[in-house]
Amino acid sequence: MFNWNDLVFFLELARQGRLMPAARRLRVDHTTVSRRISELEKDLAVKLFERKPDGFVLTEDGHRLLSIAERMEVLGLSVMETIKSAPSEPSGKVRIATMEGIAAYYLTEKLTEFNALHPQIVIELVAERHLINLTKREADVSISFVPPVGPRLDVRKAGVFKLGLFASSTYLARRDTPRSVADLQAHDFVDYVVDLVSIPKVHWLLDVLEPEHVVFRSSSMAAQQNAIAAGRGIGLLPYFSAKKEPRLVPVLAQTVEVQRELYISVHEDIQFMGRVRALTRFLFSMFERDAAYLNTL
């Protein structure tokens, strides 16, 4: 008979594909993960992984076990959600993954409302330049500008937000205000570090033009906004973040406008959990309620 607890190690290694990331997620040493997998393979008398130079790849038997183990995981998670003597307030941690700008300039403030409604739920807000993998359980809920792709993901459009060109009044006083899109090529720009843009839709300035004079680049949207506000040049920013900085002035507001969609994604295995349901309901309601705020100056 195999050790049921070994399935936890199997699931994590199957999702991560390498020992060290799996060990970090499980908060154990990588040798422990390797040993538990070896013991599971011995107990089941099958080979679950092919050991490759770049990681662990599931065998045919491994894929069969993965399907069973994931169903067992879902049933295990559902115990506390369904077997209760009385209804109770959702509690526990929920990790949200999204991009830096919307995390810092919009979500952080809005989530205080959620915490007032659900004080026993702790939100972990992860801001990354790349899409977080929900299949590998790197997060519970994703808010992204593009729909993520993966097995058994529930992906729904939640809304849209708009972006426009901004500069500081000091920059415009020094360089004059552009009157047309053609005038923009004579100006200095703030932009992303091109080779660090992992999601092309985040490089939104290219929707307007490919500037000839970029004077400052950063992988951080917050750093870009601060640079624009300090007078370094013109940049494209979401309305929701630009509103937070009084030094910013719209440029060609009636002419240049860019739009991005917002998607909320959650893995099917956990979408039924009370704390996850509470959060996703709040997020969809929030984006619907704030549609005007996200799309007007």
Give the pLDDT score at 227: 98
Distance from C-alpha of 167 to C-alpha of 71, rounded to nearest angstrom: 53
Same domain, 154 and 183: no
Residue 147 contacts residue 265 (beta carbons within 8 Å) = yes
CATH number where 177 lies: 3.40.190.10
Same-domain check for residues 253 and 267? no
87 lies in some domain: no
Same-domain check for residues 192 and 223: yes
Q: How many domains is the chain built from?
A: 3
| Residue 1 within a domain | no
Last residue of a domain, one of 82, 113, 141: 82
Whether pLDDT at 156 is above 80: yes
* Res. 198: pLDDT tops 70: yes
What's the pLDDT tens digit per position in 215-263? Answer: 999 999 999 999 999 999 999 999 999 999 999 999 999 899 999 999 9
Query: What average pLDDT does the segment 106-132 reach?
Result: 91
pTM of the model: 0.75
Does residue 272 share a domain with residue 140? yes
Residue 146 lies in a domain: yes
Please tell me whether residues 283 and 249 are part of one structural domain.
no
Task: Note whether 155 and 165 are same-domain residues.
Answer: no
Query: How large is the average pLDDT for residues 56-69?
Result: 90
Domain span at residue 13 reads 6-82
Domain limit, last residue, from 32, 61, 82: 82
Provide φ and ψ at 246, rounded to 5°.
Answer: -65, -15
The pLDDT value given to residue 79: 66
Residue 270 inside a domain? The answer is yes
Q: Quick one: average pLDDT of 253-281?
A: 92
Instruction: Give the confidence band of 174 by pLDDT, cuts at 50, 70, 90.
Output: very high
Tokens of 136: 């590998």
Q: Does any domain span residue 57?
A: yes
Burial group, residue 236, by CB count within 10 angstroms (0-12, 13-18, 19+)? buried
Shared domain for 155 and 266, answered yes or no, is yes
Asked if the model's pLDDT at residue 187 lies above 80, the reply is yes
pLDDT in tens, 9-31: 998 898 889 999 999 989 999 99
Any domain includes 38: yes
Q: Is pLDDT above 90 for 75?
A: no
Taking the CA atoms of residue 265, residue 268, residue 269 and residue 270 in that order, the dihedral angle to the nearest 10 degrees is: 50
pLDDT greater than 90 at residue 151: no
Q: Does 19 fall in a domain?
A: yes
CATH code at 75?
Answer: 1.10.10.10
242 and 213 share one domain: yes
Is there a single domain that holds both residue 155 and residue 182?
Answer: no
Same domain, 66 and 206: no
Contact 215, 233 (CB under 8 A): yes
Residues of the chain with pLDDT > 90, as a percent, come to 70
Same domain, 232 and 168: yes
For residues 143 and 5, what is the distance between their CA atoms, to the nearest angstrom? 32
Closest CA to 70 of 155, 156, 151: 151
Mark whether 154 and 206 lie in a shared domain: no
